[in-house]
Structure 1
Amino acid sequence: MPQTIKKNAEERMDKAIGALKRDLATLRAGRATPALLDRVQVEYYGALTPVNQLANINTPDTRTLMIQPWDKSSVSAIEKAIMKSDLGLTPSNDGASIRLSIPALTEERRAELVKLTKKFGEEAKVAIRNIRRDANDDIKKLEKGEISEDESRRHQDDIQKSTDKFTAEVDKVLAAKEKEIMEV
């Protein structure tokens, strides 16, 4: 039973790391990636729809995103959604597709992005600590009848080791993203 609790906790911690990586992928670090548009929602036939479900998004070069909607009538809606987003990008529309030029980042914008990166990292660490707390609570409940106090302590130590491992992984992911952002 405690092994199941530990396995479940590790799976949830792994999902927290995955969520952090997805969040960081949407940060603009000076180079074009289709993931930049993952959070952009387009008002399409009365429903908010992600851009990647309305169009083909590719990168002809490192500083340009090309958005080719499958339905040409959605071009203006996609353009409006990009302008409303917090990406700070201005789309250029040729009627059939949209081009996004990714400008080089200013030093101020780099500092803002690093702060945002750290915020995402802290949220991931809090999530991991909450998962640890939940797992430890579950083990303490087992201590009342199914396992001894020593076993409980050993399992809690195992969960702490997993927590430390995943927290170190968060730090590694953050360091890589900060390095990418600060690259000129």
Structure 2
Amino acid sequence: MKFLVSKGDITTMKVDAIVNAANTSLLGGSGVDGAIHKAGGNAILEACMVIRNKQGGCKVGEAVITTAGNLPSKYVIHTVGPVWNGDKEEKKQLLASCYNNCLQLAEKHQLKSIAFPNISTGIYGFPKKEAAQITIDTVQKFSAKNLEEITFVCFDEENYKLYKQLLK
């Protein structure tokens, strides 16, 4: 697998799937979640509502896949990252689960490329350095049959530098 680091807007990525750092309701929110729902249009929200009606949303650490609507990608994989508070070991495991579950969905759908945001490092307060290390460790351990390329799309300079350094 090839690992790339990019700084910018995940909604512009031309990959098979982009990952959305969603909330448990799947109905959109702020940050990357709001940007993806806004750029992708109603088709994403409608697909999320179908999932909500079927299973009641998405739990922390889990992932679901929908259409990408108006986005250049084919799919959006929504995952709910942990809020950094309390049991830090549990939060680290939940963050790793986010990445693992997204990668498993990508494999299940035979996707070749996926782009990840920096899950939980914004308003959810996960320390960026720890999150980056967990992310890199998790994706490097993942055994992919179909996936050929993983891009980490960093919104801020601090995450961009961390990922560049860790992927040397």
TM-score by length of 2: 0.27
Bigger relative contact order, structure 1 or 2 (CA pairs below 8 A, ≥6 apart):
2
Which structure has the highest strand share of the two? 2
Q: From the CA coordinates, give the structure whose radius of gyration is larger.
A: 1
